[in-house]
Structure 1
């Protein structure tokens, strides 16, 4: 009874911790979007996207509004976006996107995570041949026929369309386009009236590194340290599934 209670408590704590990290990252994205294009989501597509993503993780509306208000203050500092690249143990490529108000702190932390886990931090652009930036949209397809939808989205730059399941087992449609077609595809999906779950620019590995499950544990030691850092927005790797 006691062990079961402790296990449930630990699981609950981990969910809360994960949710807090998601809220922090989206809050930063909202601030950067407002600083970049103003506080009106109707005229600021980046902000509109951030608000959509906040709903997908059940971020409270008052926290979204507070982030917009804070960013609208001219005296409020924004965040600088930086990308760091390197290799974990066993030759696995790691790419990290950050948003920070203190670049020196961020780069020092990232370098220490690589060093402590046997990896090595590289130069910016050193992994351009491995990762390709893509626009990824996830939404509820409803009763829409996917073949018909493919035809409707071709002019918006559709590259791939497929289904995946969420944690509740519901079908989620996933659309992939080129990085530069983000705005065009976002508008096309909005015009079709789909309920968006998320809209992001993600790094897709063009080549993968096969490793064993035991070696993967070494890599995840680095990934976990990076993902726990408040300045880190996203971490990508090229481990083969």
Structure 2
């Protein structure tokens, strides 16, 4: 959550989930099944499925699990998942967008509302905070993909709109309807990305102090523990000093 890395401040890092591998694998598998069901079951012909498979591979989801998730989409008894977005506020006035895939809307709504209320936040109506974010495509590469100039030039040539590079890696932002085209153009130059998905990029950031940051992270961790919740976005920024105090 270091202040020098904007992306790690708007999407909660999945590092905590590494300790909860089964939960992470469940989320990845669910996204693969949904993507396969919405289009062709071939990653080469289905951009969303290709992104989901690449994300699963990056998280070391076994190949057999990936194939089972794809095959599951064509089964008559496969669950039907619904994409839902919740919007609201967290500690310190932070705006949050919570994306979920669920087969039970009532269960997910209750769980999300409870998690937010118990950790210093409150849910708002649809559109209550998303107006403060831009819907964009986001492509992630590790630092080893190249230096900042190399990645910037490759991204610009591929049609990206913005690039942010730190010692942790590279974040390439695209127009939301250009994500798949940019990934296709940049892959031959930089290789397969670590991740590529539609994202919510905040227009302004909120600096969060030590007290609110601890509660905010607890809220996000609670949401991450819910198998229905896929991603939590927010416009929070936490300094290195505060992160060190929180341990």
Displacement of 1:141:
7.2
CA contact (8 A) 1:71 1:78 kept: no
Equivalent residue, structure 1, for 2:7: none
Q: How does the TM-score come out when normalised to structure 1?
A: 0.83
Please state whether the residue corresponding to 1:124 is helix, strand or coil: coil
CA contact (8 A) 2:136 2:176 kept: yes
Q: Higher Cα Rg: structure 1 or 2?
A: 1
| Among 115, 121, 124, the residue aligned to 1:122 | 124
| Among 105, 108, 112, the residue aligned to 2:107 | 105
Q: Give, in whole Å, the separation in 1 of the partners of 2:77 and 2:94.
A: 41
Alpha-carbon displacement from aligned partner over 1:180-225 (angstroms, at most 9, x marks no partner) = 2111111112343613211122222211222311121122222121
Q: Give, in whole Å, the separation in 2 of the partners of 1:104 and 1:129.
A: 25
Determine whether 1:205 maps to 2:202.
yes
Alpha-carbon displacement from aligned partner over 1:41-84 (angstroms, at most 9, x marks no partner) = 11111111111111111111011011111112133123100000
The count of aligned residue pairs is 223
Bigger RCO of structures 1 and 2 (CA < 8 A, at least 6 apart): 2
Distance 1:65 1:130, change over 3 A: same
Please state whether the residue corresponding to 1:126 is helix, strand or coil: coil
Q: How does the TM-score come out when normalised to structure 2?
A: 0.81
Please state whether the residue corresponding to 2:127 is helix, strand or coil: coil
Could you list the runs of 5+ residues in structure 2 that have no partner in the other structure? 1-15, 239-247
Equivalent residue, structure 2, for 1:234: 231
Alpha-carbon displacement from aligned partner over 1:155-194 (angstroms, at most 9, x marks no partner) = 543122243345xxxxx33311121211111111234361
Please state whether the residue corresponding to 1:72 is helix, strand or coil: coil
Determine whether 1:31 maps to 2:28.
no
| Among 131, 139, 142, the residue aligned to 2:141 | 139
Determine whether 1:21 maps to 2:23.
yes
Displacement of 1:153:
3.8
Could you list the runs of 5+ residues in structure 1 that have no partner in the other structure? 1-13, 167-171
Q: Give, in whole Å, the separation in 2 of the partners of 1:119 and 1:144.
A: 40
Equivalent residue, structure 2, for 1:224: 221
| Among 150, 163, 170, the residue aligned to 2:165 | 163
